[in-house]
Amino acid sequence: MSTNGPVRPNTRKLLIRTWGCQMNVYDSGRMADILAPLGYAPTESAEEADMVILNTCHIREKASEKVFSDLGRLRLTKNERQAEGKDTIIAVAGCVAQAEGAEITARAPWVDIVLGPQTYHRLPEMVARASRAAGAVIETDFPAEDKFDHLPEARGNGGPVAFLTIQEGCDKFCSFCVVPYTRGAEFSRPAAAIIAEARQLAANGAREIALLGQNVNAWAGEAPRTVSGESPGGNTHGNTWRLARLLRELAEIPGVARLRYTTSHPRDMDDDLIAAHGEIPSLMPYLHLPVQSGSDRVLAAMNRGHKADLYLRLADRLREARPDIALTSDFIVGHPGETAKEFEDTMRLVERVGFAGAYSFKYSARPGTPAAGQPFPVPEAEKDTRLQALQALLRQQQDDFNRACVGRVVDVLVTGTGRHPGQVAGRSPWLQPVHAAGAAPVGAVVPMQLRATHPNSLSATMVLPEESAAA
C-alpha cells in the first residue's frame, strides 16, 4: 500500500508511546508520518486512540515485562472501546518486538501487530491486514530492501531540534548488548538521502539537527553524484563518504545553526572526525563516547575491541582539537568476572578524563547475549556498592562542569517557554537546560550569560548585542 496517495481526513486517532533511545523517538515520528495519509492524527489519550503503538526498547532491565504491563492496561481500554462499538488496533514495535516476536501475541493475544525496527515502512499494509483478518500480523524479519527508500518525506514536528537517523544496526557484538540481534547489521544511508532530509527538516524550522545511529560514527554512506555522475572529492574513500565529510556538507544548509551526532564507538573516531570538531563551528562541543569500563581485561570480556589507553588518547586529541568540548559516556559495573581492582580501574579512568555527564548501570544479563553465559557473576550487593561509588564521582564531575560554566556568555537555542511566566527555556552548546527571564522566539539562538546552577538546569540572563560584542 502506497503512502504517497491522497491524504484522508483526520478521522482516526493515533497514540505512540516511545521508550529508549533517540533513534526510537525518530522511528516513532516516521511511523506517524507513514500513518498520516491513512487519516491518523496524534492523540495523547489511549481512550480515544483508534490505534496504539508501543515503540519499545530492549536495553534496560525487565524491558519486556514493562511492555506486557502496559499491554495489560491497554487490554482493558480496548475492551471498553469495543463495548462502545469502536475498534482499536494495538501494535508493538521496536526492539522488544524484534526480540520477542510471536511470544508477544502468545502472552497478549489482543495485540494486533508486532513489527521490528526494520519493517515499519510496511505499516499501512499491516494495518490493512490487521483490519480485515483474524489473528495477529507479525513482521520481524530483516527485509532486503532499504526501509528508508519506502518512507514518505519527513514532516518533522516543526520544532527547533530535529533527529535524523543516518545509520542503523551494529557489527560490534559487545558481549552484553542485544542491538546486533534486534537492529541487525550496520547499514549506512546514502549521503544524498540524508542531505535531502536535512534540507527538508531545516525548511520545516529545525535549527539543530542531531544525527543518530547505533554506531553513528561508523557511518560510511554512498557519496552523492554530480551532474557528470562522478562523486565529489574531499574526505572520501572511493565513492563513500565518512561522517566528517557529511557533517561539513550539512553545515552548509541554510538555517542549520547546530549539528550533533550520537551514539559513537571509540573504534570509529577517525582523524577527520576529530579534526571536524575544531573546524566546523556549527558542530557543537559535545560528544557522547561510551567507554563502559576502565579495565582492559573487562573491555576484552565485553568484546569492545579497544583498550582504556585508546580512550584516554582520544579524549586528549578531542580536547586538543576543541578545548571546550564536553565528553559524556556510558558505564556498566559488575560485568561477569569484574574484580574490585578492575572496578577501581574504571574509577581511575573517570578521574583522569573528567566527564560532563554519564549514564551508568549495573550489569544485567540479556538472554541470548554472550555475557549471559559467562562465569563468576558479581553479587548484586557488590554491584550496588560499586554503582553508588561511580555515580557519586560522576555527579561530582557533572556539578564541577556546570559550575565552571557559570559566568560564561554562550549561545542558547531557545526551545520553548520556561516553567515560570516571562521565562524562555533552551539548551546550551553542551546540552544543558537553560532558563532566563525575557522573550525570544522559539528557534532563536540567543547569547546568554550563565548565572547559577540548579539541580537540573542553569539560570541565565540575556545579553544585549553590545554586551555580547564586548564579551
* Residue 449 belongs to domain with CATH number: 2.40.50.140
Note whether 20 and 56 are within 8 A (CB).
Answer: yes
Quick check: is 348 in a domain? yes
Q: Any idea what the CATH number is for the domain that residue 93 is in? A: 3.40.50.12160
pTM as predicted: 0.76
One domain for residues 167 and 238: yes
pLDDT at 272: 98
Distance between CA 382 and CA 237 in Å, rounded?
48
Q: What is the structure's pLDDT at 117?
A: 82
Q: Bridge partners of 424? A: 417, 436
Q: Which residues are annotated as a binding site?
A: 21, 57, 95, 170, 174, 177
Which domain range does residue 258 map to?
153-284
CATH code where residue 247 lies: 3.30.750.210
Instruction: State whether 163 and 211 are in the same domain.
Output: yes
My answer on whether 376 and 413 are in the same domain is no
Q: What is the DSSP letter of 283?
A: B
- Domain boundary among the residues 139, 171, 203 is at 139
Per-residue pLDDT of the chain (471 residues; tens, 9 = 90+): 334 444 455 589 999 999 877 788 888 888 888 888 888 999 999 999 999 999 988 766 566 788 889 999 999 999 999 999 999 999 999 888 887 888 898 899 999 999 888 788 788 888 888 877 666 888 877 554 455 555 556 655 568 999 998 998 899 999 998 888 777 889 999 999 999 999 999 999 999 999 999 899 999 999 998 644 444 445 555 699 999 999 999 999 999 999 999 999 999 999 999 999 999 999 999 999 999 999 999 999 999 999 999 999 999 999 999 999 999 999 999 999 999 999 999 999 999 999 999 999 999 888 778 998 888 999 999 999 999 999 999 999 999 999 999 999 999 999 999 989 999 999 999 999 999 999 999 999 999 999 999 988 999 999 976 555 555
Does one domain contain both 168 and 252? Answer: yes
Do 398 and 414 lie in one domain? The reply is no
Q: What share of the chain is helix, strand, coil (3-state, %, to 5)?
A: 40, 25, 40
Handedness of CA 102, 107, 113, 114 (dihedral sign): negative
Domain count, the chain: 4
CB neighbour list of residue 348: distance below 8 Å, 6 or more residues apart? 294
Cα distance between residue 348 and residue 353, in whole Å: 9
CA distance 199 to 194: 9
Q: What pLDDT shows up at residue 381?
A: 97
Neighbours of 379 (CB within 10 A): 9
- Residue 366 has which C-alpha cell? 540479556
Spatial distance between the Cα atoms of 219 and 223, rounded to a whole number of angstroms: 12
Residues 6 or more apart whose Cβ sits within 8 Å of residue 30: 120, 151, 154
Q: Which residues are annotated as a binding site for [4Fe-4S] cluster?
A: 21, 57, 95, 170, 174, 177
